Amino acid sequence: MEQKIQEMAEAYKLLADKTRLTIVALLKEQELCVCDITDIIGMSQPNASQHLRKLKAAGLLNEKKRGQWVYYSLNPDAEAYVQCVYPYLPSMKAKIAGLKNCCGPQEEA
Amino acid sequence: MEQKIQEMAEAYKLLADKTRLTIVALLKEQELCVCDITDIIGMSQPNASQHLRKLKAAGLLNEKKRGQWVYYSLNPDAEAYVQCVYPYLPSMKAKIAGLKNCCGPQEEA
DNA sequence: TGCTTATATAAGTGATTTATTATATGATTA
DNA sequence: TAATCATATAATAAATCACTTATATAAGCA
């Protein structure tokens, strides 16, 4: 029981940061590469990279390498107590639409 | 949109602490006074008091004074993106049952 | 092979946070 | 009124965290 609460607290710690929560909200729309995410949020690349690593380490994100780009997406198998908050995240469609189509969601070659 | 994400992040920050999340799990069962909470969790009284204050300030808890005791309970009007996680919290019935019935849930006199 | 682009890692710094100790408030009871 | 019990507040110390700067890796391209 305490173990479960500990795990939940650690997961919510990841969602307890404006930057990471924005990343999750973005990826709710579609998968994105690191450069898209940094562009949209307007943050440094190392900063994005570190947040993405944490989210991935905790099982919230999946990572897929394609050419020189790394695409991140929401992990549909993440814990239910994490996924239950996703529906409350505001839509990021507008932000994503503003992307200069540098490397949006790619079809498998 | 960024405002909403900011608010959500701040709320999850409150749930991102093992102690506070345990308090919420306890109050999911029933209202409790500060001394009950400190007994069950085994923490110092000032520590409990400060966590309770934060949770209350953010609208997660209600407070009701009765004699020299202060009873805390979950606020049923808390934001939906907070309440959606409550069902995933483990049951605390066993912990609460172990209370020496010092000041459990009281009827209005 | 060298250059560029995309991403990751490492180290350092400043800010935030948790818990403790000490003290204050406020209600109850002797 | 004095003593006690329940709770709150304040100040501080220790730990954690986010972000920056600098550097490393690794893929694509000239």
Give tens-digit pLDDT for B66-93. Answer: 999 999 999 999 999 999 999 999 999 9
Comparing B106 with A98, the larger pLDDT belongs to A98
Pairing of strands A69-74, B69-74: unpaired
Hey, what are B68's tokens? Answer: 């020299």
**Is the pLDDT assigned to residue A31 strictly greater than 50?**
yes
* Residues in A touching B94 (Cβ below 8 Å): 1
Which residue's C-alpha is at the least distance from the C1' of D27?
Answer: A68
Hey, what are A95's tokens? Answer: 């932000």
For residue A109, name the pLDDT band (cuts at 50, 70, 90). Answer: very low
Q: Quick one: three-class SS letters along B44-83? A: CHHHHHHHHHHHHHCCCEEEEEECCEEEEEECCCCCHHHH
So what's the pLDDT on residue B109? Answer: 35
CATH class of the domain whose range is B2-80: mainly alpha
Is any atom of nucleic acid chain D found less than 7 Å from the CB of residue A54? yes
d(CA B73, CA B90): 17
Backbone torsions φ then ψ of A64, nearest 5 degrees: -140, 125
For residue A66, name the pLDDT band (cuts at 50, 70, 90). Answer: very high
Backbone torsions φ then ψ of A32, nearest 5 degrees: -145, 155
d(CA A84, CA A82): 5
At B35 the three-state DSSP class reads helix
For residue B25, name the pLDDT band (cuts at 50, 70, 90). Answer: very high
Looking at residues A4-11, what average pLDDT do you find?
A: 97
Interface mutation target, options B2, B20, B55, chain A, most CBs of A under 10 Å = B2
**How far is CA A67 from each of CA A33, A38, A44, A54, B80, rounded to the nearest angstrom?**
11, 18, 22, 23, 41
Interface mutation target, options B8, B24, B43, chain A, most CBs of A under 10 Å = B8
Sequence-separated (6 or more) residues with CB below 8 Å from residue A55: A14, A20, A23, A24, A61, A72
Q: Which CATH architecture has domain A2-88?
A: Orthogonal Bundle (1.10)
Bridge partners (DSSP) listed for residue A69: A66
